[in-house]
């Protein structure tokens, strides 16, 4: 049990330090941010059945808010998600864990996904950047 906790700390601690390292803070995160980390992969969005269900952070999921699920980033971390096919981007707050589908790096709320692509596509290639 202790070994598992140590491994999780070794994975999460560097990500937490990166997310907290910027001294700049802004209430308008969409227009003012500092990039600290990037990842590339696939993004999808939550199905309607998850509306108002509890997320891993304890919040109720709201498909109309700009939120997302990530496997390791701390809850409350803000990330900029850029659609690599059309360069549109959206800034979201991590409040859940996932995705649990191989090859996907982030699950977006329907509102966030629709800001960067038509939801009919379902899955898109993105760049995810931690922002502060």
Domain boundaries, the chain: 2-131
My answer on whether omega of the bond before 99 falls inside 30° of 0, hence cis, is: yes
pLDDT band for position 132 (50/70/90)?
confident
Q: Which two tokens stand for residue 24?
A: 């700049």
Pick the CATH number of 2-131 from 3.40.50.2300, 2.40.50.140, 2.60.120.620, 2.40.40.10: 2.40.40.10
Which has the higher per-residue pLDDT, 91 or 49?
91
- pLDDT greater at residue 41 or residue 8: 41
With a cut of 90, say whether residue 22 has pLDDT above it: no
Residue 20 banded pLDDT, cuts 50, 70, 90: very low
Q: How confident is the model at residue 17 (pLDDT cuts 50, 70, 90)?
A: very low
Distances (CA, A) of 94 to 10, 30, 65, 86: 20, 14, 11, 23
- pTM of the prediction? 0.71
Residue 74 predicted with pLDDT over 90: yes
- The per-residue b/e assignment along 102-126, b for 16 or more CB within 10 angstroms, e otherwise, is eebbbbbbbbbbebbbeeeeeebeb
pLDDT band at 36, cuts 50/70/90? low
More reliable by pLDDT, 67 or 49: 67
Contacts with 122 (C-beta within 8 Å, 6 or more apart), sequence order: 44, 45
Q: Where are the alpha helices (DSSP H) in the chain?
A: 2-20, 110-116
Q: What one-character-per-residue DSSP string does 45-66 give?
A: E--GGGTTPBPTTSPBP-TTS-
């Amino acid at each position: 049990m202790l070994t598992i906790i140590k491994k999780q700390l070794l994975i999460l601690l560097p990500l937490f330090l990166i997310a907290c390292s910027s001294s700049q803070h802004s209430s308008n995160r969409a227009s003012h941010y500092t990039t600290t980390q990037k990842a590339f992969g696939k993004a999808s969005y939550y199905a309607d059945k998850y509306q108002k269900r509890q997320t891993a952070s304890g919040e109720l999921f709201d498909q109309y808010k700009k939120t997302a699920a990530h496997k390791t980033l701390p809850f409350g971390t803000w990330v900029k998600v850029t659609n690599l096919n059309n360069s549109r981007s959206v800034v979201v707050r991590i409040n859940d864990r996932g995705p649990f589908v191989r090859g996907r790096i982030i699950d977006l709320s329907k509102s966030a996904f629709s800001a960067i692509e038509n939801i009919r596509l379902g899955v898109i290639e993105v760049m995810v950047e931690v922002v502060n």
